């Protein structure tokens, strides 16, 4: 079924999309303010996979193993199942509404202004903090003594690449992704071919205090950690206005990126538990480096460090791009200042939004310890995907592989994982959401 650029059906004279709440009219940008459709399936998939194979793949297995014990692979499977529900919902909505902004747009069109705003505000604030954390992680991998200056430099350089156009962003993403994939293949080969100090993992798991607490309940918080490694496919949806043939390209790219990431994460979880002792895996700050060293290939450590740095840059590049496009969408609807919606004529990118995001990230890097405050973004992401599933639940004309019960399962799964997060993270993000809601309420009231 074809759709107009604002998401309405061709024969809908009312100007409202199916399921659209009465009283809200989308504000379509003028032709010269729209972004250009330049991304195909391959580039879109690379951006999504590059987001999912960020720095998390080099560090997330340790805290997840500490929580799940010998059931680490099950935690990956649970996270992957919930991510699949969210991916199907995102693919449905992105095909219906091929505009920049992702769930911010979907929530407004299907549920109303407030659900859309909450999703967009949670995404922009949470992912801005994630950008700062990813940049700082890159700095720590390259030169810990100069981590902050390197992080600032990375943000400036990658923002410059984004300002040159989405095709330059996609090209650099492909290069960085190739380095990361080569690194992960090297780690997997080292784990398979080298000596295995872990011996019999099952025996260690039976006697170690790292066994799953409370009869396996540790799998849920571990799945919560692993889930965020899979959340990068949202970047494909936020770029919906720059994808060719979005009704066909976006669903394929989202599901392909998720499938690739799931195979990689599940395979690495099995290999690491087989190759490293449980105590070492759970307590490591760099489990993939430990796996290479345990294989007697200490000379490969610089290669793994380079791969980790490339992963950080790839994820940061996609994050800045996604936050910029969501900021653009919110500015178009006047939920953020209007000038943020300006699009450059030469490279058709939201240059003011990109610069504003970069400035916010640099301020965070210079003024806060982002590695300690970024945890609240996890709660924001789960709220974002809860809105995604709720919006998809209201859609008509559903494909056979996207039944409504799958959206309900994804919605409940997001709430369950959110409930397992540390209370401090929940409270901080709840406060951020409350501030945004209060500010929007006052602005809307003053306009009326």
Tokens representing 81 are 């199942």
Structural domain includes residue 127: yes
Does 19 reside within a domain?
Answer: no
The segment with the largest mean pLDDT, out of 70-84, 91-105, 158-172, is: 70-84
Per the CB < 8 A criterion, the answer to whether 324 and 149 are in contact is: no
HSE on the CB side for 324, CA within 13 Å? 32
What's the residue count for the chain?
448
pLDDT(381) > 60: yes
For 173, half-sphere exposure in the C-beta direction (CA atoms, 13 angstrom radius) is 30
Instruction: Output the CA–CA distances (angstroms, integers) from residue 390 to 19, 227, 254, 405, 436, in the order listed.
Output: 12, 19, 19, 11, 21
Contacts of 154 (CB under 8 A, 6+ apart): 135, 138, 139, 312, 313, 316
Q: In total, how many domains does the chain have? A: 1
Q: Assess if residue 271 is contained within a domain.
A: yes
pLDDT over 80 at 393, yes or no: yes
What is the band of 33 on the pLDDT scale with cuts at 50, 70, 90?
low
Q: In this structure, what token pair is assigned to residue 148? A: 């902050």
Q: What percent of the chain has pLDDT over 70?
A: 85
The region of weakest confidence among 8-22, 28-42, 333-347 is 8-22
pLDDT in tens, 408-445: 999 999 988 888 777 888 888 899 999 999 999 999 99
CB neighbours of residue 58 within 10 Å:
28
Q: What is the pLDDT of residue 12?
A: 40
Q: pLDDT grade, residue 27 (50/70/90)?
A: low
pLDDT at 215: 44
Give the CA distances from residue 407 to residues 156, 240, 414, in Å, rounded to whole numbers and listed in that order. 38, 21, 11
Domain residues for the domain of 174 are 31-447
* C-alpha–C-alpha distance, residues 19 and 396, integer Å: 8
For 18, the token pair is 């199916």
Residue 36 per-residue DSSP state: P
CA quadruple 113, 117, 118, 123: dihedral sign: positive
- Which of 3-7, 246-250, 342-346, 351-355 has the highest mean predicted lDDT (pLDDT)? 351-355
Q: 250: Cβ–Cβ under 8 A, 6 or more apart, which residues?
A: 44, 91, 94, 95, 98, 236, 237, 240, 243
**Nearest Cα to 46, choosing from 243, 191, 281, 189?**
243
Evaluate whether residue 26 is within a structural domain. Answer: no
Give a yes or no: residue 143 inside a domain.
yes
Q: Within a domain: residue 38? A: yes
* DSSP structural state of residue 18: T
The verdict on residue 66 lying in a domain is yes
Q: Is the residue at 375 inside a domain?
A: yes
pLDDT of 37 strictly over 50: yes
Q: Single out the residue of 100, 87, 163, 203 nearest to residue 345, CA to CA.
A: 163
CATH number where 140 lies: 1.20.1740.10
């Amino acid at each position: 079924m074809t759709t107009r650029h604002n998401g309405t059906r061709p024969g809908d004279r009312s100007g409202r999309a199916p399921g659209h709440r009465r009283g809200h009219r989308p504000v379509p940008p003028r032709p010269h303010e729209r972004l250009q459709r330049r991304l195909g399936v391959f580039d879109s998939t690379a951006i999504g996979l590059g987001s999912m194979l960020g720095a998390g793949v080099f560090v997330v297995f340790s805290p997840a193993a500490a929580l799940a014990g010998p059931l680490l692979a099950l935690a990956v499977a649970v996270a992957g199942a919930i991510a699949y529900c969210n991916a199907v919902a995102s693919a449905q909505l992105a095909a219906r509404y091929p505009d920049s902004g992702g769930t911010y747009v979907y929530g407004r069109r299907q549920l109303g202004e407030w659900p859309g705003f909450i999703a967009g505000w949670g995404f922009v604030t949470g992912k801005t903090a994630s950008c700062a954390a990813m940049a700082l992680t890159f700095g720590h991998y390259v030169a810990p003594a100069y981590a902050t200056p390197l992080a600032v430099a990375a943000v400036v350089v990658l923002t410059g690449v984004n300002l040159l156009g989405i095709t330059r962003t996609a090209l650099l993403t492909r290069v960085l992704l190739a380095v990361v994939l080569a690194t992960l293949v090297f780690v997997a080969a080292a784990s398979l071919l080298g000596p295995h100090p872990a011996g019999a993992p099952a025996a260690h798991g039976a006697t170690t205090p790292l066994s799953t607490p409370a009869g396996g309940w540790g799998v849920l918080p571990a799945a919560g950690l692993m889930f965020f490694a899979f959340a990068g496919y949202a970047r494909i949806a936020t770029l919906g206005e720059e994808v060719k043939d979005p009704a066909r390209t976006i669903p394929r790219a989202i599901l392909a990126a998720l499938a690739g990431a799931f195979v990689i994460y599940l395979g690495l979880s099995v290999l690491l538990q087989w190759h490293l002792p449980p105590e070492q895996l759970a307590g490591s700050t760099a489990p993939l480096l430990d796996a290479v060293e345990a294989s007697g290939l200490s000379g490969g450590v610089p290669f793994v460090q380079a791969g980790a740095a490339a992963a950080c840059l790839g994820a940061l590049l996609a994050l800045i791009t996604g936050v910029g496009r969501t900021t653009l969408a919110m500015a178009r609807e006047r939920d953020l200042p209007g000038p943020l919606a300006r699009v450059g004529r030469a490279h058709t990118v939201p240059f003011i939004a990109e610069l504003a995001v970069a400035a916010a990230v640099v301020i965070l890097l210079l003024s806060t310890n982002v590695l300690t405050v970024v945890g609240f973004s996890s709660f924001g992401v789960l709220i974002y995907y809860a809105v995604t599933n709720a919006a998809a639940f209201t859609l008509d004309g559903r494909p056979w592989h996207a039944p409504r019960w799958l959206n309900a399962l994804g919605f409940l799964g997001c709430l369950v994982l959110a409930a397992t997060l540390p209370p401090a993270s929940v409270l901080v993000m709840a406060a951020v959401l409350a501030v945004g809601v209060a500010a929007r309420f006052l602005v809307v009231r003053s306009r009326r």
